[in-house]
Amino acid sequence: MTQEAMENGYFEAAYHTLCASLHVAYDLQDKQRLEAVRKAVIAQLAWIDKNAPEHKMSTKSIAKRKGVNLYNSLLTQIDADLTILKHKWHQEDIKEKLEL
């Protein structure tokens, strides 16, 4: 869906599809899916920056407005979610080992 939205110029819809994908991947505690969403975020932002630099979602446009880059915020959220999951799994490993 996100790729189709990008190809048709619906950049905001593509972004929000990635946000939804992030939430599903996190709820499933799926590291591989979170990493796949991360790659898609990077690719989409790079595509927008190259092919639509004047669009409000582009890095250039955001910098002109001194705004917040939503794609970068999404990357921060993904990294935080990955860290939370790693910590959770580490805690579970410790509990499991202590119960032996």
- Which pLDDT does position 31 carry in this prediction? 95
Low-confidence ranges of the chain (pLDDT < 70): 100
The residue written with tokens 């860290």 in the block is 83
Global confidence as pTM: 0.87
- Which pLDDT does position 90 carry in this prediction? 85
- Which pLDDT does position 64 carry in this prediction? 95
Q: Please list, in sequence order, all residues whose beta carbon lies within 8 angstroms of the beta carbon of residue 40, skipping any fewer than 6 positions away.
A: 2, 18, 21
Domain ranges in the chain are: 2-98
Dihedral, CA of residue 48, residue 49, residue 52 and residue 53, to nearest 10? 150
